[in-house]
Structures are given as C-alpha cells and as structure tokens.
Amino acid sequence: MTAESGPSSGLKARRKLYDLMRKSLSRTELMDQILDIGAEYLGANHGFVSDIDVSDNRWEIIASTDGPDGPYPEGLVEELGTTLCRHTIDQGEPLALHDVPGQGFEDDIAYQRHGMDLYHGAAIRVRDEIFGTICFVSGESRDEPFTETEVWFVELAAQLLGQALERTHHERQILNRERLIDVLNRVLRHNLRNDMNVIIGSADLIEEQTTGENQTLAAQISETGQNLMELAETARNLEELCRSVPVPRPMDIRPLVDAAVAGVKADQPDASISVTGPDEIVALAAPQLESAVKELLENAANDGGTNPHIEVTIEREDSVALVTVTDSGSGLPDAERMMLESGEESAVEHGSGLGLFLVHWIVTNLDGNIDVVTSDGGSSITIQLPTARIAPVTNS
C-alpha cells in the first residue's frame, strides 16, 4: 500500500477523522473506519487496535483491517512483552519506526516474532488510564522517516478513539446503573415490603398478647419495621423521580406547597402546620418541588415529638422565591445539614439522609439553593428558587 503524500493529504486525513466523530457510529464501526483512513494515509498494509492489560501482560487485537486469515486478525492474543506496543506504552508517546530493524529493534523479541519492518503506534487512554494502542504496520520498511504530520495524525486518532471509548464506557455505566436501580426497586417494592409486612404483623400480635419486656421488644421490632418500610418507599420515590430530571419553568409554587402540607397533615394528623405567604408566587420550578417540600415537612414532623408544630413561610426577596420550613425539634444533625446544603453523602450511607438527598437533588436541578439554620431549639430550612413572571395569555 502506498502512502498519500504532501501536507494536503495529512489535512484531508485529519478532516476524515473529525467527520467520523460527528457521525453516530458504533464503537466497532468507528474503529474500523479510523483504521482504514490511517492505513491508506500512512501506506501501511495493516492497522489494528489493541486492548492491553499491563498487569496481566496481555495484548489482544479488538479491531483490525485484516480478515480472519490475515497476520493481525481481530481476536489475536499475545503477551504484551512480545509486542512493540510495550515500547509505545513505556515511552508514553507515539512510537514511529519506518525501519524497525535499522532503528535498533533487530534483536527485539517483537521483531523476531512478528517480522514487521514498519511500525507506528500510539497509546489510547480512557479515563486517564491505558486502554490499548492503535497501530499501523507493514512487512516492508520505507525509506523516509514518518513526518511530524503523520505522527500527529496517529496521535490524534488515538485521542479521538479514547474519547469515543470513554463516552461508550460512560453510557454503559449509566445503562448498568439504571438496570441496577430497576432491580433494587423491584426488591424494595415487592420482596422487602412483603417480608416486612409479615414481620410487622407478627410483632404487633406479640405486642398485643404479651406484657413487660417482651411487649416492649415487640413494639421496637414493629417500629423498626415501619421505619424500613418508609425508607423503602423513599428509595422508590427517589428512583421514580430520577427518571425525570426536574426542568425549571415559570409556575406558581403556592399550590405545590399547599399540596405538600395537605399530604403530611393527612399522614400525621397530630402535626400542626401553618402556612403564611401570598396566594401566588411565581418561580422557576417543577412539579417535583412538592416532593421536596413534603420531605422537609415529614422530617420536621418526625423530629418534633408529640404534637409537633411546623411553620411554612413563602415569600419573595429580590429575584428569589423562598420557601422556609421551621420546626421546634432537636435540631438537624451536621451530617443531614451537609446533605441538604452540599449533597454530602455520608448520611445516606446510614439510610437516614436518603430523603434529604432527594430534597437536595430536586432543588439543585431547579438551579436553586438550600440554606439551613439549626440549633437545640429547632431548625429552619429555606429553599431558594429564582423567580419568574408568567407570560400573559392572550386570545387570538
């Protein structure tokens, strides 16, 4: 194969690479087409992409211009130490050898084993780690060394492949995470709920039929079971909400706050919740704001002991709409405060902060902020959202 020559050929080859990145190609299609472009431009008889595991000394071709009967077919596995790619990895920059034996590699095991007289390879990195190499080789050397433009082309091809592989890796991570969430959701929704209903029901029967310490222990089992059921429900709600990222748009947030208050009052009739503020206040929000406010109210009610008193204030301050939930409980622990304000995940590790993580996730996706003031006499948590005006509706 004869190399294309001249600066214009290098520019043309690079443009072909950039054109590929704008297309919706699979990983295999992208690698195959990059190899075809590179082999033609460099005049190499063979081109391949390798997957390398340095710790296992393993080298495998995962894409190639060769067919199954060629010298470098897809699926070929060798020890990394028997390939020239080990030098490419070791030196940390492209290895361009226009005359392999004449440039000091005549006695190298790679040359003795594969007999390639021309080699040009560059490392492919994914997430700052070595993934493999892209290489162009021939059984015959060439007279002139590789030009800077040719070296740059191979390095560019490696970089573009690395970026594409990283995107694929990220997409697969997201897909796997979504599948895992689906599985966990089904477990929480069915298996855990059904088993906990049996445990709670049995504990309630024991509590009714016993006295003293056994009755106390049964009550503790029942309460713990109820807490786990609530945690499972919060996890399920979080999973459902994460499927639809809140998109901020101008809307009246007063109905959302009122709906959250009504829901908590229905679930906890002993809680006293008052709401003060204008009948209408427009902010950049989404329907998920109701879930965030409800979670704060439930957290306040649970922390307020018997007959908890909670105040909700809605107001506008400059270009910000404020929704403040104030309680007279024991104050918010530092871990939960950090969860609300910065999304710190330490509280989630113990389960207690899962609902507050939901609040943080909703508010930050609405481009809002959360401010927490807490003391022994209670907590005051404020959701801050950008305000907006609803455009007047005109009749046509």
How many CB atoms are located within 10 Å of the residue 152 CB?
Answer: 14
Residues 348 and 369 placed together within one structural domain of the fold: yes
Confidence class for position 396, pLDDT limits 50, 70, 90: very low
Q: Name the residue among 108, 134, 109 with its Cα closest to residue 122.
A: 134
Long-range contacts of 341-349 (CB under 8 A, 24+ apart): 341/370, 341/371, 341/372
| Tens digits of residue pLDDT in 304-317 | 777 889 999 999 99
Alpha-carbon gap, residue 297 to 286, rounded angstroms? 18
Confidence class for position 351, pLDDT limits 50, 70, 90: very low
Domain boundary among 243, 274, 308: 243
Q: Mean pLDDT across the stretch 258-278? A: 93
**Lowest mean pLDDT, pick from 59-73, 186-200, 245-259:** 186-200
Does 393 score more than 70 pLDDT?
no
Q: What is the pTM of this model?
A: 0.49
| Tens digits of residue pLDDT in 114-159 | 889 999 999 999 888 899 999 999 999 999 999 999 999 999 999 9
Tokens of 297: 């109210």
Distances from the Cα of 363 to the Cα of 211, 242, 354, angstroms:
47, 13, 15
Residues 285 and 224 placed together within one structural domain of the fold: no
Residues 254 and 375 placed together within one structural domain of the fold: yes
Residues 118 and 174 placed together within one structural domain of the fold: yes
User: Are 117 and 140 within 8 A, CB to CB?
Assistant: yes
Asked if the structure places residue 295 within a domain, the reply is yes
Alpha-carbon gap, residue 164 to 125, rounded angstroms? 10
Domain boundary among 176, 208, 243: 243
Alpha-carbon gap, residue 218 to 223, rounded angstroms? 9
**Lowest mean pLDDT, pick from 107-116, 149-158, 241-250:** 241-250
Asked if the structure places residue 395 within a domain, the reply is no
Please provide the average confidence, as pLDDT, over all residues in the chain.
85
Confidence class for position 10, pLDDT limits 50, 70, 90: confident
Residues 86 and 211 placed together within one structural domain of the fold: yes
Residues 250 and 232 placed together within one structural domain of the fold: no
Provide the CATH number for the domain around residue 87: 3.30.450.40
Between 55 and 346, the higher pLDDT residue: 55
Asked if the structure places residue 396 within a domain, the reply is no
Does 23 score more than 50 pLDDT?
yes
Domain boundary among 198, 222, 243: 243
Residues 257 and 194 placed together within one structural domain of the fold: no
Residues 168 and 43 placed together within one structural domain of the fold: yes
Asked if the structure places residue 111 within a domain, the reply is yes
pLDDT at residue number 392: 39
Confidence class for position 394, pLDDT limits 50, 70, 90: very low
Alpha-carbon gap, residue 85 to 62, rounded angstroms? 14
Residues 225 and 249 placed together within one structural domain of the fold: no
Residues 185 and 199 placed together within one structural domain of the fold: yes
Residues 38 and 185 placed together within one structural domain of the fold: yes
Does 109 score more than 90 pLDDT?
yes
Domain enclosing residue 133, as ranges: 1-243
pLDDT at residue number 135: 97
What SS3 string covers the chain?
Answer: CCCCCCHHHHHHHHHHHHHHHCCCCCHHHHHHHHHHHHHHHHCCCEEEEEEEECCCCEEEEEEECCCCCCCCCCCCEEEHHHCCHHHHHHHCCCEEECCCHHHCCCCCHHHHHHCCCEEEEEEEEECCEEEEEEEEEECCCCCCCCCHHHHHHHHHHHHHHHHHHHHHHHHHHHHHHHHHHHHHHHHHHHHHHHHHHHHHHHHHHHHHHCCHHHHHHHHHHHHHHHHHHHHHHHHHHHHHHHCCCCCCEEEECHHHHHHHHHHHHHHCCCCEEEEECCCCCEEEECCCHHHHHHHHHHHHHHHCCCCCEEEEEEEEECCEEEEEEEECCCCCCHHHHHHHHHCCCCCHHHCCCHHHHHHHHHHHHCCCEEEEEEECCEEEEEEEEEECCCCCCCCC
Provide the CATH number for the domain around residue 331: 3.30.565.10
Q: What percent of the chain has pLDDT over 90?
A: 54
User: Are 374 and 291 within 8 A, CB to CB?
Assistant: no
Residue type, 157: A
Residues 133 and 229 placed together within one structural domain of the fold: yes
Q: What is the tally of structural domains in the chain?
A: 2
Asked if the structure places residue 11 within a domain, the reply is yes
Q: Mean pLDDT across the stretch 201-209? A: 92
| 86 HSE (CA, 13 A, CB side) | 17
Asked if the structure places residue 169 within a domain, the reply is yes
